[in-house]
Amino acid sequence: MSASEQEQRIRRIADALPKLSEGQALWVEDMLMQFARPHSFKANPHSDIITQRFLYDFGDTLRVHHCFSKQAFTKDKFEYVFERIALLCGLPAKLATKGNPGFDIIVAGQKLSLKTEAHEGINADKIHISKFMELGKPKWTNDPADLIGLRQVFLDRVNECDRVFTLRVLSKLPNKWHYELVEIPKALLLSAATGQLEMKTKSKQTGALPGYCYVKDARGHLLFELYFDGGSERKLRVQKLLKSSCVVHATWVFSTEDVLSDDNQATGQLSLM
């Protein structure tokens, strides 16, 4: 946007302000105060998707969201905002149709699967996606051999996309939110093809028995697990996935209240610790 276009936009906003109701003016004031609060947005310099424009537009969208909510950004908002900001950055982007399996959005010709993680007790170093997908209706009895087919459903789903991203909430204290965007390598997820399968034959769960797929490195260290939930939703969970095996593309840390530590009051900088 040119300087003249920016000036015109600011004039339009200024002209509209006197016409706002008291309630509308309050909401606008809240958003302006939010933009003035301490924040720290950082992009991985090697990221091929997070430009400076994307970094700040996405971070500001998160801050606006928390003017109206104390809940973490949800998956549907993540998808919508990702598309809109990609378009603002000049990247061709289009959301997949609702319920589309495999990927959620196409950006610059790449099919992206977008996940979120915001549960209580989140582990900063290990990624947990409670509902990576629904497994549908492949054969699932109490026979451990059925896990082979269930794992193949997962592998087929991963192969339907090009890249997998998850937006994680590491902190949601009243005065500080900490988000990060992490890419889970597709090749890492596909390595489940050689993982160790285990059916929990002694489980007391009703319905189909749950199972696991343990994926380890050459030294026998666990990289991640797949958990096949035999409950009514028949969902697949990805858990204990090492963030050190992934790529952190960006982080957003910001305050939602006028609370600063003594060390930072003079500078207006937000403590990240």
Instruction: Give the number of other CB atoms < 10 A from CB of residue 199.
Output: 20
- Residues 205 and 207: their CA atoms lie apart, in Å, by 6
Spatial CA neighbour of 198 closest among 120, 241, 240, 145: 145
Q: Shortest CA distance to 100 belongs to which of 79, 128, 77?
A: 79
Sheet of 105-107: strand order equals 39-43, 247-254, 176-184, 163-173, 110-117, 105-107, 93-95
pLDDT score of 203 more than 80:
no
Alpha-helix runs per DSSP H in 45-169: 52-68, 75-88, 146-159
Query: With bands split at pLDDT 50, 70 and 90, how would you rate the model's confidence at 147?
Result: very high
Give per-residue pLDDT as tens, 91-114.
999 999 988 888 999 999 999 999
Contact status, residue 162 vs residue 186, Cβ threshold 8 Å: yes
Distance between CA atoms of 155 and 93, rounded to whole angstroms? 25
Mean pLDDT, residues 9-13 taken together: 89
pTM for the full model?
0.88
pLDDT tens digit string along 214-260? 999 999 999 999 999 876 678 999 999 999 999 999 999 999 887 54
**Rounded to the nearest 10 degrees, what angle do helices 52-68 and 75-88 cross at?**
140
Within the chain, strands assigned E span: 39-43, 93-95, 105-107, 110-117, 126-134, 163-173, 176-184, 196-199, 211-216, 222-228, 235-242, 247-254
